[in-house]
């Protein structure tokens, strides 16, 4: 039973804590989305949950083991991480990048084992990037690149998958595509997924639970049907919205109210 | 597969160049020798030219190779460490630091040997290390450190060390030749002692680098991701910084500052065979060694006397580097 328990976590950088007093449990097989305004601490939280921040207090356990005392190698067998898209000079090919996910499963000097290549092939087809195999990462579009990084995280073969704003900088079609892939991973591979996102409507159909983060603190946590209310959105995002029902998913959906003429 | 063929072809070319380089180095010199003399020494054990072949020319070529390999490996490590093709032993301050130590030694008039090593070498080594440690400590902010800060601090510290070096040379103008040796590099003083001073370190550092090469590959993804992939980032980074310093300081301590090798060789090899450090470290070392063998050949045959090798490497290296940059898309 894969489980992450967080108790009273506070974490941040050299200038002090960005997120404070976070407590929640990530349940086996669920898809939990963390939502909040820019600067609310979403990225900080997802890093802190993997023990990547030195300035942290509180307790995080993965399957009963304390994250802060786990070695990088052991933790890497539990949690895989897809960071926000960033631009950089990256000369590795798609295949080589995905293979990096196999690091903990390989010897230091050893090459690619049959099980490595089997898994790499499988995750590349799951992420629909088999045809890009020999391309250089630098030559890919944003959506393709994001799928490569997801495939790389999958190659790590972990029960938990963490993603930081997987849809940012992507076209609408790619945004949905990424979430479709995540859904398949949850359903077919039994992954437990934790993802930060700022696009509320995008995640509602895919998430079993949402966490609203406001100024570094959890302001609400629960099922989308209960959390998506006018008052909550006003409180967390400082935006005036109407809530309506999505005609396809029958789930709640927010609709922005234009401000024009209101305060003139 | 295509890159594999490319690598094998490159390896073949390099090995031929290496053997040819050693042969020419052995045969070329102020004393006329030919292939027969060498043949007689190797096969018939005729010791007429033994000293010239073994103690002068072979030791010199071997030292040039080792220093070139060390500097290039150091550069390859630093370029991976900083994720920046402009990095090299010069940039983090280690080369300037080491030569500062050597010149300080001349200035103080210390000229003794301790267990086979000259005090100058020890000074060079120690001050190279001190500079890098200082740079490393200064670029830390409350326990967190940024690669850009380290790079910039290194450049500043290197400039300071160079200024102090020049100042000492200015004060003691009568030691000009010695100073030129440390500032522009030379293998004119090579002997077997120096080889034993460089060889073990090079091998040790090379093995460590190769052992951690996969970890270095992961660092391209950023420290956070590398860590989440299971790479012990902070200890890997410390180890790489230490061995690259070690390699550069030990090179400078036997041959002075030889510029551009640590910058262009790994840069060029990266363009040729790609970013995988498992191959990059090996090919950079080999190519850097060969480059210095030929540079040293030029340095000692081009004019009547000896030219400082740093002039050769800069004259060849700088235009080549600019060419490589202009080729980048």
- pLDDT category, B145, cuts 50, 70, 90? low
| Partner residue facing A91 (CB), from B224, B231, B275 | B275
Which chain B residues contact residue A109 at CB under 8 A?
A: 210-211
In a domain, B33, yes or no: no
In a domain, B42, yes or no: no
Nearest CA in chain B to A152: B229
Q: What is the pLDDT of residue B104?
A: 86
Pairing status of strand A160-164 against strand A79-82: parallel
- pLDDT category, B221, cuts 50, 70, 90? confident
Q: What is the pLDDT of residue A59?
A: 93
Q: What is the pLDDT of residue B84?
A: 78
Residues of A with CB under 8 A from a CB of B: 13-14, 47, 50, 52, 54, 71-73, 75-77, 79-81, 83, 86, 88-92, 96-97, 100-101, 103-104, 106, 108-109, 156, 162
Chain-centroid distance, C-alpha B280: 15
* β-sheet bridge partners, residue A216: none
Short-list B275, B219, B218, CA closest to A98: B218
Q: What is the largest CA-CA distance in chain A?
A: 69
Q: What is the pLDDT of residue A76?
A: 93
| Partner residue facing A92 (CB), from B142, B220, B233 | B220
Asked if residue A209 has pLDDT above 60, the reply is: yes
Q: What CATH fold (topology level) applies to the domain A1-78+160-165+191-264?
A: Rossmann fold (3.40.50)
B residues 68..87 contacting A (CB < 8 A): 83
Percent of chain A at pLDDT > 70 equals 95
Q: What is the pLDDT of residue B141?
A: 66
Q: From CA B59, how far away is CA B189, in angstroms rounded?
A: 10
Helices (H), chain B: 2-27, 35-43, 50, 59-82, 94-108, 119-138, 147-171, 176-184, 192-211, 213-219, 223-228, 233-255, 261-273, 277-301, 309-327
Q: For A19-31, what is the mean pLDDT?
A: 93
Write out pLDDT tens, residues B157-171. Answer: 988 998 898 888 888
- Whether the complex's predicted ipTM surpasses the cut of 0.90: no
Structure tokens at A124: 């590349």
Taking each helix axis from N to C end, the angle separating B147-171 and B59-82, rounded to the nearest 10 degrees, works out to 140
Q: What is the pLDDT of residue B18?
A: 96
Structure tokens at A261: 């003429």
A82's enclosing H/E stretch is strand A79-82
Asked if residue A44 has pLDDT above 70, the reply is: yes
Taking the alpha carbons of B169, B172, B176, B178 in that order, is the dihedral positive or negative?
negative
Q: From CA A260, how far away is CA B109, in angstroms rounded?
A: 82
Q: From CA B121, how far away is CA B278, in angstroms rounded?
A: 31
Residue positions counted in chain B: 329
CB contact under 8 A, A103 and B220: no
Q: What is the pLDDT of residue B114?
A: 65
Mean pLDDT, all residues of chain B: 85
Write out pLDDT tens, residues B178-220. Answer: 777 777 888 888 888 888 878 988 999 999 999 999 999 998 8
B21/B134: higher pLDDT: B21
CB contact under 8 A, B224 and A52: yes
Locate the domains of chain A by residue range.
Answer: 1-78+160-165+191-264, 83-157
**Triad B45, B46, B50: Cα angle to 5°:** 95
Nearest CA in chain B to A13: B144
Domain count, chain B: 1
Q: For A103-118, what is the mean pLDDT?
A: 83
Task: Characterize A102-136 residue by residue with b for buried, 16 or more Cβ atoms within 10 angstroms of its Cβ, and e for exposed.
Answer: bbbbeeeeeeeeeebeebbebbbebbebeebeeeb
Q: From CA B164, how far away is CA A21, in angstroms rounded?
A: 53
- pLDDT category, B286, cuts 50, 70, 90? very high
* β-sheet bridge partners, residue A256: A241
Nearest CA in chain B to A53: B224
Q: What is the pLDDT of residue A264?
A: 44
Q: From CA B29, how far away is CA B49, in angstroms rounded?
A: 12
Asked if residue A262 has pLDDT above 60, the reply is: no
| Partner residue facing B142 (CB), from A14, A79, A104 | A14
Which residues lie closer than 8 Å to B103 by C-beta, 6 or more apart? B165, B168, B169, B179, B182, B183
Are B96 and B184 in contact, with CB atoms under 8 Å apart? no
Domain harbouring B104, CATH code: 1.10.3470.10
Q: What is the pLDDT of residue A263?
A: 53
Structure tokens at B321: 């580097």
| Partner residue facing B218 (CB), from A13, A81, A100 | A100
Q: For A127-156, what is the mean pLDDT?
A: 89
CB contact under 8 A, B214 and A76: no
Shortest distance between the Cα of A83 and any Cα of chain B, in A, equals 7
DSSP 8-state symbol, B229: T
Lowest mean pLDDT among A101-105, B60-64, B65-69, B287-291: A101-105
Write out pLDDT tens, residues B71-128. Answer: 999 999 999 988 877 788 887 788 889 888 888 887 887 766 666 566 777 888 888 8
């Amino acid at each position: 039973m894969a489980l992450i328990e967080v108790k009273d976590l506070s974490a941040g950088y050299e200038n002090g804590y960005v997120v404070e007093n976070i407590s929640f449990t990530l349940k086996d097989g669920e898809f939990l989305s963390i939502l909040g305004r820019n600067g609310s601490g979403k990225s900080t939280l997802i890093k802190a949950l993997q023990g990547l921040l030195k300035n942290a207090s509180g307790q995080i356990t993965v399957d009963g083991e304390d994250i802060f005392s786990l070695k990088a190698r052991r933790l890497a067998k539990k949690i895989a991480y897809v960071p926000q898209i960033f631009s950089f000079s990256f000369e590795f090919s798609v295949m080589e990048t995905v293979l990096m996910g196999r690091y903990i499963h390989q010897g230091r000097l050893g090459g690619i084992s049959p099980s490595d290549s089997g898994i790499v092939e499988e995750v590349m087809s799951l992420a629909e990037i088999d045809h890009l195999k020999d391309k250089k990462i630098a030559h890919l579009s944003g959506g393709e690149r994001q799928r490569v990084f997801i495939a790389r995280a999958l190659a790590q073969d972990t029960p938990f998958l963490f993603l930081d704003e997987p849809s940012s900088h992507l076209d609408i079609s790619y945004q949905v595509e990424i979430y479709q892939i995540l859904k398949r991973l949850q359903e077919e591979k039994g992954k437990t997924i934790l993802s930060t996102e700022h696009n509320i409507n995008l995640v509602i159909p895919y998430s079993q639970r949402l966490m609203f983060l406001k100024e570094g603190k959890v302001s609400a946590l629960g099922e989308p049907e209960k959390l998506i209310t006018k008052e909550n959105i006003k409180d967390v995002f400082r935006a005036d919205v109407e809530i309506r029902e999505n005609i396809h998913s029958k789930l709640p959906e927010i609709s922005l109210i234009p401000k024009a003429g209101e305060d003139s | 597969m295509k890159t594999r063929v490319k690598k094998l072809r490159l390896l073949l070319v390099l090995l031929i160049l290496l053997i040819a380089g050693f042969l020419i180095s052995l045969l070329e010199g102020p004393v006329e020798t030919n292939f027969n003399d060498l043949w007689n020494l190797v096969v018939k054990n005729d010791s007429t030219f033994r000293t010239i072949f073994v103690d002068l020319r072979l030791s010199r070529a071997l030292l040039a190779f080792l220093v070139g390999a060390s500097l290039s490996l150091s550069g390859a490590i630093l370029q991976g460490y900083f994720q920046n093709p402009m990095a090299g032993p010069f940039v983090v301050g280690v080369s300037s630091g080491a030569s500062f130590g050597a010149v300080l030694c001349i200035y103080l008039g210390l000229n003794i040997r301790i267990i086979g090593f000259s005090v100058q070498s020890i000074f060079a080594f120690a001050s190279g290390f001190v500079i890098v440690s200082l740079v490393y400590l200064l670029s830390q902010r409350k326990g967190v450190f940024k690669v850009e800060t380290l790079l910039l601090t290194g450049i500043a510290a290197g400039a300071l060390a160079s200024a102090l070096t020049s100042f000492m040379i200015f004060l003691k103008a009568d030691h000009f030749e010695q100073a030129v040796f440390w500032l522009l590099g030379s293998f004119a003083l090579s002997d077997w002692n120096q080889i034993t001073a460089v060889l073990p370190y090079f091998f040790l550092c090379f093995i460590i680098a190769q052992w951690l090469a996969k970890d270095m590959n992961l660092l391209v993804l950023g420290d956070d991701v590398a860590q989440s992939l299971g790479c012990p980032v902070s200890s890997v980074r410390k180890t790489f910084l230490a061995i690259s310093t070690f390699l550069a300081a030990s090179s400078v301590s036997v041959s002075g500052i030889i510029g551009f090798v640590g910058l262009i060789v790994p840069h060029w090899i990266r363009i040729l065979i790609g970013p995988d450090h498992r191959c990059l470290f090996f090919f950079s070392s080999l190519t850097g060694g060969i480059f210095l063998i030929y540079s040293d050949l030029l340095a000692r045959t081009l004019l009547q006397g000896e030219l400082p090798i740093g002039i050769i490497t800069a004259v060849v290296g700088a235009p080549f580097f600019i060419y490589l940059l202009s080729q980048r898309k």
